[in-house]
Amino acid sequence: MELLGSFSRYVSQQLDNRKVDGIKKEEFRTSLAAALLMPAFEKPTVTSMWVREHEDLRIEQLTWEVGFGRSEGYLLSPLDAKEKLPGILALHDHAGEKYWGKSKIADIGEEPDRSLVEHRRRYYGARAWANELAKRGYAVFVPDLLGFESRRIRVGELPPSLIQHLLAPPLEIVEGGTYRNENLVLDDSLESRVAYNALARGLEHVIAKVLMSGGYTWAGYTAAEDLVALDILSEHELVDGSRLGCGGLSLGGLRSVLLGSLSPKIQASFVTGFMTTFRDLVDAKAADHTWIAYAPNLSRLGEFGDLLTAHAPKPLLVQHGKRDSLFTFGEAERSALRIGEHYKDDPDKFIFTVYDEPHLFNERMQEEAFGFFDHFLH
């Protein structure tokens, strides 16, 4: 049964009837940026807040301002590096967890909150994968994205009426049972993390509406922030800017799709747990994904797999779990076949690996991604 019955069927038919004119590879990047309705950010001033050592890694906290507010990111690299390193932009997931962003995949040597421990156990084989990759000889940069951790919308800036509307009782929350608005204490502290994530679910709709009212999409805003982070990585004194890669799980995979085609700096990328078709979203799965995944004009460029047109034939690894309920597996396979058409002259540079797993990026999958970078960037 279609997601919205006959209405989904109608929209899906329009996708079938849409004729997409062939876009030359050199023009695709410009067309993709236009379809995303990306903001134009000025080059920010980057400040190093601190540097520390942890498990044979050098960890540096960087801050900058982009669009609005303060952004943070961690740069992890081997302590004993003698030459400039290949750089990887490690892209965090969504998973309904907005209190955390970069901290989901980077360990800076502090005792993690139990929520981070559980998140890493569920999605990453109990590992902070940015650290594991850095130990193999990479400079790994993990920035926060708008809406997460340092880029969260602060509770104190929201009208009380909006909070009351979004948290109208009763509200079911996965962790902790049912909260009722009259008993809810909500602020920006860790103690309010569960309640904040509940608020953030409803707030996604408001953020998306505000961005679209201003002429942007959240997908475009995301891509623009990631391009700034990529520039910060490429210009760091520890990094060889000619050897850059990116990748991530879920939302991180979507970000990798967009970044790989938008930036010629990316030489290799991996996409884990975000391969689909626009038909799959229309017919079945649109309700399962964040607003960050949507920009109306993307489907006018072709199918979802065609979004990687400008990245091809640079090395690309796509990993997908056969039991990933966020996507229809047959449609993920169909999208991978579409990507393969862009690699028909360089088939060895596109790898599509299917795991008998749900929605995750476990140790075995990580090791494949790390080996992929070892082969193409070292």
Tell me if residue 51 falls in helix, strand or coil: strand
What is the reported pLDDT for 25? 75
Q: Is 69 left (phi over 0), alpha (psi -120 to 50) or beta?
A: left
- 182 pLDDT above the threshold of 70: no
pLDDT tens by residue, 183-200: 556 788 898 898 899 899
316 membership: H or E segment, kind and range: strand 316-321
Task: Tell me whether residue 365 is in a domain.
Answer: yes
Are 93 and 173 in a shared domain?
Answer: no
pLDDT-derived band of residue 354, with 50, 70 and 90 as boundaries? very high
Task: Tell me whether residue 13 is in a domain.
Answer: no
Look at the chain and count its residues.
378
For residue 358, give the CATH number of its domain: 3.40.50.1820
Task: Tell me whether residue 118 is in a domain.
Answer: yes
Residue 252: which of 130, 343, 154, 349 has the closest Cα?
130
Are 302 and 208 in a shared domain?
Answer: no
Are 168 and 208 in a shared domain?
Answer: yes
pTM of the model: 0.94
Are 136 and 109 in a shared domain?
Answer: yes
Q: Are 128 and 108 in contact (CB under 8 A)?
A: no
Are 207 and 125 in a shared domain?
Answer: no
Are 144 and 156 in a shared domain?
Answer: no
Task: Tell me whether residue 26 is in a domain.
Answer: no
Token pair listed for 193: 């993390």
Q: To the nearest whole number, what is the mean pLDDT of the chain?
A: 93
Token pair listed for 273: 């747990």
**Phi, psi (degrees; rounded to nearest 5) at 170:** -80, 155
What is the reported pLDDT for 239? 98
Are 227 and 118 in a shared domain?
Answer: yes
Token pair listed for 192: 């309010």
Are 267 and 352 in a shared domain?
Answer: yes
Tell me if residue 129 falls in helix, strand or coil: helix
- Give how many domains the chain has, as a whole number: 2
Q: Select from 190, 213, 236 the last residue of a domain.
A: 213
Task: Tell me whether residue 32 is in a domain.
Answer: no
Q: Are 249 and 296 in contact (CB under 8 A)?
A: no
d(CA 328, CA 92): 23
What is the reported pLDDT for 169? 60
Are 126 and 160 in a shared domain?
Answer: no
pLDDT tens by residue, 259-300: 999 999 999 999 999 999 999 999 999 999 999 999 999 999
Task: Tell me whether residue 70 is in a domain.
Answer: yes
What is the reported pLDDT for 18? 75
d(CA 236, CA 84): 10
Are 113 and 189 in a shared domain?
Answer: no
| % pLDDT > 90, the chain | 82
Q: Select from 171, 197, 213 the last residue of a domain.
A: 213
Task: Tell me whether residue 7 is in a domain.
Answer: no
**DSSP sequence for 179-212:** E-GGG---SSSGGGHHHHHHHHHHHHHHHHHHHH
Are 262 and 365 in a shared domain?
Answer: yes
Measuring CA to CA, how many Å separate 47 from each of 74, 344, 374?
12, 44, 30
Q: Are 180 and 169 in contact (CB under 8 A)?
A: yes
Are 329 and 269 in a shared domain?
Answer: yes
pLDDT-derived band of residue 17, with 50, 70 and 90 as boundaries? confident
Task: Tell me whether residue 40 is in a domain.
Answer: no
DSSP state of 20: P
Q: Select from 197, 213, 229 the last residue of a domain.
A: 213
Which domain, by its residues, includes 300?
A: 47-149+218-377
